[in-house]
């Protein structure tokens, strides 16, 4: 499970870094690029906050939160026995690390860096949905997977919990 967890995290982190390097080099300062007939726009923005531009001005706190998330996942990693959880947590880990790289290494400085966002749905500039990046997508998909597994009674350690029938309904 460790190989799956860290493999998924490395793929997510690698894709995030690669796409951010490419869009900054090729598209920053340029008008938005329409893709898929307007379903998606490539529109480079620097986000000092969290999702939906929340917590703007608290970049250092968001960086510390990401470090804590990474720490918890690494602490939990040896206990993983579920492939689904390994994939979900790997996506969250890769996404958290992707945005953390921006917060550490991008301007204006360490633990204050602005995250590069560049994917805008249906309209440029986040007019319909906030502009996001690959790391954000990894975090959301991984989080949804972990929640679904939890709702299905599947734990990270491989155990499965089934709802017990009500006492009056047993046959």
Give catalytic residues, as residue numbers. Answer: 117, 136
| Complete DSSP assignment for the chain | -HHHHHHHHHHHHHHHHHHHHHHHHHHTTSPPEEEGGGTEEEEEEEESSSGGGTTTT-HHHHHHHHHHHHHHHHHHGGG---HHHHHHHHHHHHHHHHHHHHHHHSTT-TTTPPEEEEEEESSGGGSSS--B-HHHHHHHHHHHHHHHHHHTTB-TTS-B--PPPPGGG--
Instruction: Name the token pair of 92.
Output: 């969250």
Kindly give, in sequence order, each residue whose CB lies less than 8 Å from that of residue 83, ignoring residues fewer than 6 positions away.
1, 4
Is the bond preceding residue 108 a cis peptide, omega within 30 degrees?
yes
């Amino acid at each position: 499970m460790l190989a799956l967890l860290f493999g998924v995290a490395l793929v997510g982190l690698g894709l995030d870094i690669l796409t951010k390097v490419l869009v900054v080099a090729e598209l920053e300062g340029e008008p938005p690029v329409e893709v898929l007939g307007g379903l998606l726009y490539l529109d480079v923005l620097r986000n000092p906050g969290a999702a939906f531009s929340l917590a703007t001005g608290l970049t250092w706190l968001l960086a510390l939160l990401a470090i804590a998330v990474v720490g918890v996942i690494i602490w939990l990693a040896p206990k993983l026995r579920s492939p689904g959880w390994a994939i979900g947590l790997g996506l969250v880990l890769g996404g958290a690390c992707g945005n953390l790289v921006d917060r550490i290494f991008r301007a204006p400085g360490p633990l204050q860096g602005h995250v590069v966002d560049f994917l805008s749905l249906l309209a440029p500039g986040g007019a319909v949905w906030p502009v996001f990046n690959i790391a954000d997508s990894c975090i959301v998909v991984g989080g949804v997977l972990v929640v679904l597994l939890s709702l299905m009674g599947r734990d990270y350690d491989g155990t499965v919990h089934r709802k017990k029938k009500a006492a009056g309904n047993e046959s």
